[in-house]
Structure 1
Amino acid sequence: MNTAFASPIINVLIFILAFCSIVYELLLAQALSAFLENTVLRYCVTIGLYMFSMGLGALAAEEKYTKHPINTLLSVEILLTLIGGFSLGILHVLNMLYLPRIVFSAAAHILIICIGVLTGFEVPLFFEIVRIKKISSENIVLGVNYFGAFVGTGCFTFVFYPIAGLMATSFFVGFINALAGTSLMILRGLISKEALKPFYRLWTLQVMILVMIGICLFCSDPINEYFMDRYMNAF
């Protein structure tokens, strides 16, 4: 693949993935403020735990995971799409189980940690891609990543939450995340021959998840009504 063509694609992917990750966390913070109350506490703990978990993810991104960085990145996006895109639904299901408050809180914060760790994997993987292929620089990777997170924060605050609501936002951002994962097919020219077969298997799974979350997005209103009825009946 022409590196001049690959560079802008990678930058767009970095932006989108950072955008999605921060929105997932803000979704969880807002949802937890409804389930567990104390909005300031929920946002502070969520963002703090997210940053800490990102550090853990970056530390965990060792050579065995970066040997085939695009394959690993696709695996990460599959998990992020499932955990992040369905995070609000998972919280509602947990709430319907009438778990003790501390158990519910622990499970919710495990979701936050999982998203943070997976997000922490992304930047080292992009570092490896641009380093091996000499496509871009690490400074640009970091800059685009931070900018994507900033835009995601603004969009959640001023567009997603007040207009679309939490459930539709979770499915929409999950859909965008899955779409970004499937778009890694464009970079298949950067993948070694030995890693192509596993990549195609992962890509097929990502497409299936894309379709599934797309259906959920289309049906987000009735899904939201169902969960809100259960939420209100819990009180």
Structure 2
Amino acid sequence: MIEPHAPAPPGVPPTRRGTGGQAGRARLPVRPGTGRFLVLVCVFVCAACGLVYELELVALASYLIGDSITQASVVVSVMVFAMGIGSLAAKRLRGRAAAGFGAIEAALALLGGCSAMAVYAVFAWTGDWGGLWTDGPRHLLVAFSLAIGLLIGAEVPLLMELIQRIRRQDAGGAVADLSAADYVGALVGGLAFPFLLLPWLGQLTSAMLTGAVNAVAGGALVLGLFRGELSRRGRWLMFLTNAVVLGLLATAAVLVDDFERAARQAVYGRDVRVALHTDVQEVVLTGGTRGRPLDLFLDGRPRFSGRDEHRYHEALVHPAMRGPHARVLVLGGGEGLAAREVLRHPGVRRVDVVGPDAGVIRLARTDSALSSLNGHAFDDPRVRVFTADAFAWLRQGPPATAYDVVVADLPDPGITASMKLYSQEFYGLARQVLADDGRLVVHAGPVASRPRVFWTVEATVRAAGFRTTPYSVGGRASSFAAGPDRAAGASRGPRDWGFVLASASASASASASASASTSASAAAANTTPRQRPVAVQAPRPRPRTHTGPFSVAALAAAERRADATRVEGLPPSTLVHPRYGD
């Protein structure tokens, strides 16, 4: 049982009574019940802000570095570790709990509120993360995770001390009250970030707003409820500190649009034409005017470059189109370029395109440069577009009875969000929608730089019951990469594309290995860049027959190139055991 404290000696403030640094009952401007409620409200707000900071760092790590599973694990584990250290360090501040809590909240508001802008600024203006900056983003994010975790960890012990000063109760009851408020606040913060803050305000502004809320909550609690524990000088210092923090956050919020434009130009160059945040990702289009090639970036990753996208899409589509191809399914390819290549073949009666992002599909229809590049494929009456996740769409059952060709034009398997689209279960669903003599072609990432990933894709396709023909097309003219590469520089981009052509029947597999037309040589397919105009211009007439670069000899050479990198004995990737991490 806790004994009441004796009266304080003369000259000792009431809040410093007792022994061992333990404070007595605080003098409050409100009733004790109201004071406890206000402290619990502050716990709720601080917990919500803390989780928003954590999710913000995870989102930044995944966006700037890639491999979201690894980055999320690093950020969360470092923050949890730091929170434990912060809780221990807060023991030294229990004698000055109110002043310590106010200072911690001001520092947390400034660090957490500006973390996103600081990390993105370093990323934008230091260019490629190579050389000296190979591990730069990881180090910077770990530093922010550590500092923010230390401050978050120090909050609860100090709040526990403050709530005990209002009215002493058993430790178990006090912990239960604070834990309840803390967990409910974390729930609200965890839901607010993806469903409210991120879509409406974006990463930078949402972090600043969270910091402002954090500063107001901490300052209001200390200056309003526990001001008796501070000297007059301490109250003014606390007020000015929070005013400076709020002023800095407000200034950053006012300048955030100019900052984003400048940072975007530093990352993508000065010819950014379109930059928008859809419900799925950030979409950036550059070039497409005055003879500059049109480039598309999705969440900072180069999706295609107008310099050489035709070589990728021709290599992806045309080998699979030998044989029946009246009904074609394109999974991914929301920019319309794979559909453009499909429509070059006579006899195509129906093309279904399944893309996850309505914003990209809308740009493919309405942006003059992009619609010109894709040959206005989405205006063709044979093309039907579905906005859906490819995996879920296949599970629900496609409208066509069976497809002659399925083209999987999907992001690289090294991206965590795409791993399920390279699983044995996914290829099993694709097999169910294929006709008996149908073919499946899969973009499987670069071969030379990531052979284990490529051959894991091939092993996974085989495990789903397909006969496979892996092949590789090299000699890129630019840095176009559908994979997880964060830099747009050619020095970072892989120099080849790998594909897996597959069928469920032996006869279809045999014809697939000799697929494509015979009008160009292997050298034209693999070593000679062919430039195409990508500036805004009148729609190019679509040829009635395909005269692309893939000959039988070219495809055979592409098969040999891939086979030279073969890695044997790799297990398939499944939903419960993805195997594409580098």
TM-score (norm 1): 0.90
Instruction: Determine the C-alpha separation between the residues in 2 that align with 1:192 and 1:72.
Output: 11
Q: 1:68 Cα shift?
A: 1.2
Residue in 1 that maps onto 2:250: 214
Instruction: Determine the C-alpha separation between the residues in 2 that align with 1:168 and 1:180.
Output: 18
Residue in 2 that maps onto 1:205: 241
Q: 1:156 Cα shift?
A: 0.7
Q: 1:132 Cα shift?
A: 2.3
More helix per residue: 1
Instruction: Determine the C-alpha separation between the residues in 1 that align with 2:140 and 2:234.
Output: 31
Query: Which of 146, 150, 164 does residue 131 from structure 1 map onto?
Result: 164
Instruction: Determine the C-alpha separation between the residues in 1 that align with 2:233 and 2:102.
Output: 13
- Name the SS for the 2:156 alignment partner: helix
Instruction: Determine the C-alpha separation between the residues in 2 that align with 1:200 and 1:134.
Output: 27
Q: 1:160 Cα shift?
A: 1.4
CA contact (8 A) 1:85 1:213 kept: yes
Q: 1:223 Cα shift?
A: 2.6
Q: 1:49 Cα shift?
A: 1.7
Q: 1:161 Cα shift?
A: 1.6
Amino acid in structure 2 at the alignment position of 1:186: G
Q: Decide which structure has the larger Cα Rg and report it.
A: 2
Amino acid in structure 1 at the alignment position of 2:207: S
Q: Is 1:224 matched up with 2:284?
A: no
Residue in 1 that maps onto 2:49: 20
Runs ≥4 in structure 1, deviation > 6 angstroms?
none
Residue in 2 that maps onto 1:91: 119
Shift in alpha-carbon separation, 1:14–1:196, aligned structure 2, 3 A = farther
1:132-161, CA deviations, whole angstroms, 9 ceiling, x for partnerless residues? 221772211111011111110111121112
Shift in alpha-carbon separation, 1:93–1:220, aligned structure 2, 3 A = closer
CA contact (8 A) 2:36 2:166 kept: no
CA contact (8 A) 1:69 1:128 kept: yes
Q: Is 1:159 matched up with 2:159?
A: no
CA contact (8 A) 1:168 1:221 kept: no
Q: 1:214 Cα shift?
A: 2.1
Residue in 2 that maps onto 1:32: 61
Q: More deviation in 72-81 or 42-51?
A: 42-51
Residue in 2 that maps onto 1:186: 224
Amino acid in structure 1 at the alignment position of 2:98: I
- Name the SS for the 1:165 alignment partner: helix
CA contact (8 A) 2:101 2:155 kept: yes
Instruction: Determine the C-alpha separation between the residues in 2 that align with 1:138 and 1:108.
Output: 31
1:55-84, CA deviations, whole angstroms, 9 ceiling, x for partnerless residues? 11111112x311111110111111111110
Aligned residues: 232
Instruction: Determine the C-alpha separation between the residues in 1 that align with 2:258 and 2:168.
Output: 45
Query: Which of 92, 96, 100 does residue 68 from structure 1 map onto?
Result: 96
Q: Is 1:121 matched up with 2:154?
A: yes
Residue in 1 that maps onto 2:416: none
Instruction: Determine the C-alpha separation between the residues in 1 that align with 2:63 and 2:199.
Output: 15
1:24-82, CA deviations, whole angstroms, 9 ceiling, x for partnerless residues? 111111111111111122122212221121111111112x3111111101111111111
More strand per residue: 2
TM-score (norm 2): 0.38
Instruction: Determine the C-alpha separation between the residues in 1 that align with 2:60 and 2:85.
Output: 24
Q: 1:186 Cα shift?
A: 1.0
Q: 1:196 Cα shift?
A: 4.7
Query: Which of 125, 130, 137 does residue 104 from structure 1 map onto?
Result: 137
Shift in alpha-carbon separation, 1:192–1:160, aligned structure 2, 3 A = closer
Amino acid in structure 2 at the alignment position of 1:23: V
Instruction: Determine the C-alpha separation between the residues in 2 that align with 1:42 and 1:75.
Output: 30
- Name the SS for the 2:135 alignment partner: helix
Residue in 1 that maps onto 2:573: none
Aligned CA RMSD, in angstroms, stands at: 1.9
Q: Is 1:55 matched up with 2:84?
A: yes
Structure 1 alignment gaps of length 5 or more: none
Identity across matched positions, percent: 23
Residue in 1 that maps onto 2:315: none
Instruction: Determine the C-alpha separation between the residues in 1 that align with 2:262 and 2:47.
Output: 30
Shift in alpha-carbon separation, 1:202–1:97, aligned structure 2, 3 A = farther
Structure 2 alignment gaps of length 5 or more: 1-27, 270-486, 489-582
Q: Is 1:172 matched up with 2:209?
A: yes
- Name the SS for the 2:226 alignment partner: helix
Give 1:135-154 correspondences, 5 Å limit.
137-154=174-191
